[in-house]
Amino acid sequence: MMGAEFVALSLPPILIGICVAVACALPGNFLLLRRQALIGDAISHVVLPGIVVAFLVTGAVATGPMLIGAAGAAIAAVVVIDVIRRLGRIESGAAMGVVFTAMFAAGVLLLERSDTSNVHLDVEHALFGNLESLIWLDATGWASLLDPAALAGLPVELPRMALALLVVALFLFVFWRPLAMSTFDEGFARGMGLRTGPLGLALVVVSAIAAVAAFDAVGSIIVIAMFICPAAAARMMTNRLGRQVAWSAGFAALSAIVGYVLAGYGPLWVGASASVSAAGMIATVSGLILALAAIAGPHRKAVQ
């Protein structure tokens, strides 16, 4: 299991999975504490029309335009939700529900109406992703990790996802104190002269970057699950923000590894021949971790 085949077939997806999981889980902590957990859900739905429009404009499945389209759609959705909430004086959850379902519906119809039969772009791919297909054909064994020629053949999703993770981590590192302050006591943060509005928007934008980069590689289920489950489980483990973020990163990485291994090798262990969806299994494992934390975590009860 740990031989050359593992390096070529399983190592890249696992690494990509870890990057995706951690990149989404880190901002997820702050979204959770700010009661904005469902932003991740909304973003991962509205990304679809953005990608479809980018495809229709450029006529090819190219990464750059698609990322721009997706990011544009995510930002447009945030703006439209805010406009509807203010103009109609509607509660933000309902405004969100109206906007993201309508945009997703528009994306699905656009996709079904346009001729995408010769490219790899369909609704199910957008939902489930295809983590298993991100294999490293040039690898011949562990030695390939030191071979520049082979490394050039790594799936492009890996460096891209690593970059997204870096951006997210850097953002949290630089803005840690202001973010923590505005998350726990917005009035105090404003009193200290922090501009909490732009800061909150920046957090949403960084989350959107992580979601969009991840979406392309693994589909939207993992994105939603990783925004919420690891952070929620970590919340049950500690009362300190720094430790919560660390726990959530650990839970996210654990979900990615265990989920991928269970999906890829689990069916073989029970005698079945084919593997099951890795994205779905990673989400399921993160849910199991959350369930364990909710049953036995030391800080699971609400503080009175």
Contact set with another protein (CB under 8 A): 32, 35-38, 40-41, 45, 84, 87-91, 93-98, 101-102, 104-106, 108-109, 112-113, 123-124, 127-128, 221-222, 224-225, 227-229, 231-232, 235-236, 263, 267, 272-277, 279-284, 286-287, 290, 294, 299-303
Nearest one of 300, 266, 278, 297 to 21, comparing CA atoms: 278
> What is the DSSP annotation of 25-43?
HHHHHHHHHTT-TTHHHHH
Comparing CB distances to another protein, the nearer of 101 and 140 is 101
| Least distance in angstroms from the C-beta of 255 to another protein | 10
Please give the single-letter amino acid code of residue 130. N
Rounded CA separation 208/76 (Å) = 11
| Least distance in angstroms from the C-beta of 240 to another protein | 14
Comparing CB distances to another protein, the nearer of 98 and 169 is 98
Question: Is the distance from CB of 267 to CB of 276 less than 8 angstroms?
Answer: yes
| Least distance in angstroms from the C-beta of 147 to another protein | 34
| Least distance in angstroms from the C-beta of 71 to another protein | 21
DSSP H helices in the chain: 4-5, 11-33, 39-58, 63-87, 92-113, 123-128, 148-151, 157-174, 176-184, 186-191, 196-218, 220-235, 241-269, 278-296
| Least distance in angstroms from the C-beta of 101 to another protein | 4
| Least distance in angstroms from the C-beta of 4 to another protein | 26
Q: What tokens appear for 100 in the block?
A: 């993201």
Comparing CB distances to another protein, the nearer of 181 and 234 is 234
Which residues, other chains included, contact 126 with Cβ-Cβ below 8 Å and sequence gap of 6+?
47, 48, 51, 215, 219, 220
Rounded CA separation 285/278 (Å) = 10
| Least distance in angstroms from the C-beta of 63 to another protein | 24
Comparing CB distances to another protein, the nearer of 60 and 105 is 105
Nearest one of 42, 146, 142 to 101, comparing CA atoms: 42
Rounded CA separation 33/54 (Å) = 33
**Three-class SS of residue 104?**
helix
Rounded CA separation 276/262 (Å) = 9
Comparing CB distances to another protein, the nearer of 137 and 294 is 294
What does the buried/exposed string (b/e) look like for 176-197 if buried means 16 or more CB atoms within 10 Å of the residue's CB?
eebbbbbbeebeebeeeebebe
Comparing CB distances to another protein, the nearer of 20 and 32 is 32
Comparing CB distances to another protein, the nearer of 194 and 278 is 278
| Least distance in angstroms from the C-beta of 227 to another protein | 7
Comparing CB distances to another protein, the nearer of 158 and 278 is 278
